[in-house]
Amino acid sequence: MLNRVLEICKENRYLSLNRGFIVIKHDSEELGKVPLDDIGVLLLSAQGVSFSKNILNALAEKGCITILCGKNYAPQSMVLPLYSHYHFAKIIKNQIDASLPLKKRIWQQIVIQKIKNQAMTLRLCKKEDVELLEKIASMVKSGDSENREAYAARMYWKALFGKDFIRDKDLPGINSFLNYGYAIMRSAMARAVCSSGLIPSLGIHHDNNLNQFALADDLFEIYRPMIDCIVYRIYSDDLQELTPEIKRKLTDALWIKVHTAEGDSPAFQSMQYMTASYVHALEDKKAAIDLPVWTGDEYEAVGT
């Protein structure tokens, strides 16, 4: 599988399944077809798209995610392959039985790495407050009881996009660019979560009965700064529209190299290692999770 993101962004498209291919049509005209085996994520950003249930089933059988977007490309729902792992029942039990202290220690590690990655973004974008964020990362306690994540975020957004910037998914401009990039990363993480046999609604820190992707949101936090870095490079006041070329550059974030215990890997592959290590942490009841480290070595290629 190539983990390709297939986006349907134009209105009035019809999708059908034919001999292992998804066929895209407009009225009676065939626009193209893509092998199921190549697709990692089906992203439906257009509102007028028609397709049949057998497409969703076929994608789920391949371990693929289908994500439906609303305004500003914010994800509204996902279709996930929930029963793809042969140790499914055992893994669920370990998730349910996970102690609060264990989850707090794991969340501490995630927050630390997220803030370190934010500091890396500021360094690569030649911004101030790098040392401040690194210091904040060193002060995160179990469960982030002092909410250092939020404190770092306030410093981070002002340093990266200016003192007047507000991170709000419902606002246009930079926020819509971030929404699109996060949707891509989030869906890739949801796919990794499910393929590891984990239930995405059973989170580590996020605990909202209305959020069916709490675990994916927890684990995907450390990847957000990679998207922020790309958006900083490609956004300008003269280019505020999410063109196909901009979307391609944001999708390329899935291929940014990060360092893992298995060596250097693309971001989407590192997610699989990360979720597998979380499964082992639950099994061993030890807060030892392999969090990919973003070194920024490929910065010059990011967003180009």
Q: CATH number of the domain that 8 lies in?
A: 3.100.10.20
Decide if 76 is inside a domain: no
Does one domain contain both 162 and 115?
Answer: yes
The residue type of 211 is N
Neighbouring CB atoms inside 10 A of 5's CB total 23
Helix-, strand-, coil-residue percentages of the chain, each rounded to 5 = 50, 15, 35
Total structural domains within the chain: 2
pLDDT confidence band for 88 (50 / 70 / 90)? low
State the pairing for strand pair 263-266/39-44: unpaired
Q: Is there a domain that residue 156 lies in?
A: yes
Residue 83 lies in a domain: no
Which residues constitute the domain of residue 120? 88-301
Query: Same domain for 230 and 277?
Result: yes
Chain segment 154-177, per-residue pLDDT in tens: 999 999 999 999 999 888 889 999
Question: Within the chain, how many helices (H) and strands (E) appear?
Answer: 10, 10
What is the reported pTM? 0.78
pLDDT above 70: residue 91: yes
For a pLDDT cut of 90, what percent of the chain falls above it? 53
203-248 tens-digit pLDDT? 999 877 667 789 999 999 999 999 999 999 998 877 778 888 898 8
Together in a domain, 216 and 269: yes
25 plus 134 within the same structural domain: no
79 in any annotated domain: no
pLDDT(304) > 90:
no
List, as one string, the DSSP characters of 29-59: EEEEEEEGGGEEEEEE-SS-EE--HHHHHHH
Is position 174 within any domain? Answer: yes
User: What's the whole-number mean pLDDT along residues 37-50?
Assistant: 85
Q: What angle do CA 192, 160, 264 make, to 5 degrees?
A: 35
Residue with structure tokens 């599988």? 1
Q: What is the mean pLDDT of the chain?
A: 87
pLDDT at res. 111:
97
Q: Specify the CATH number for the domain of residue 106.
A: 1.20.120.920
Same domain, yes or no: 146 and 191: yes
Residues 41 and 168 in one domain: no
